[in-house]
Amino acid sequence: MQIPHNCNFVGKLLAWICFLRQNKRTVKILAVSDQALERVYTLSSNGHFQGTELILGCGDMSYAYLEYLVTVLNMPMFYVPGNHDPQFDLRAAQAHAEGGTNLDLKIVRHNKFLIGGFGGSIRYRPDGINQYTQAEAYMRAFSLLPRLLLNRMQYGRALDILISHSPPFGIHDDSDPAHNGLKALNWLIRIAQPRYLFHGHTHFYKRNLASPETTVGITKIINVYPYKTIEASH
């Protein structure tokens, strides 16, 4: 029997597909923002979030609430500050979440996922903490560029998950001055091409009229207010 010339190619292709399936990484995430819910306290204590592997805080959360989740669920947590959070200070108990990592302007590799953070919102008060003009936000985003380029060279991708407090400009944001999105996040989506961007800040009540999820390129943008469980993959 004559063996087709492309048999070797097909075998290699099937082996590669099998390898990709076996090495596909997934992580189940509990993402929270903006509002502490009594329901989440109850669900956390009765095992509802069993199987969840990671907590992500998208800002304007009571640090006591985040610390409760870390303690009860006993899993890693990364968070970014929102415009109502205090200035980050490890020396002050009220200015950080014990047991978690403030990821603002940082990128970590956790269980082979590249996760970055971008805290704060648009500036709407001259003396506002964790508030930035569009130009200031761009400068903050530019500071992530060296690590994003290094990740691209080392891992073949810049970022898997980006957590922010603000939404991107024109996506899930609002027309009032306090809830305009940050254009720097649109730039990060184009440059880093994360698989996911999770954000808070805009309190999404119109679930029957509009979706809290939007896809831009390969990036799924999700408003997690007040909490969502998400199975992320890369």
DSSP secondary structure letters along 150-210: HHHHHHSSS-SEEEESSPBTTSS--SSGGGPPBHHHHHHHHHH--SEEEE-SS----TTTS
pLDDT band, very low/low/confident/very high, at 172 (cuts 50, 70, 90): very high
pLDDT tens profile 214-228: 999 999 999 999 999
Which domains are seen in the chain, by residue range? 26-233 (3.60.21.10)
pLDDT tens profile 19-42: 444 456 899 999 999 999 999 999
pLDDT, residue 20, reads 46
Torsion of CA 197, 87, 203, 232, to 10 degrees: 20
pTM over 0.85: yes
Q: Count of CB atoms within 10 A of residue 171's CB?
A: 18
pLDDT, residue 19, reads 47
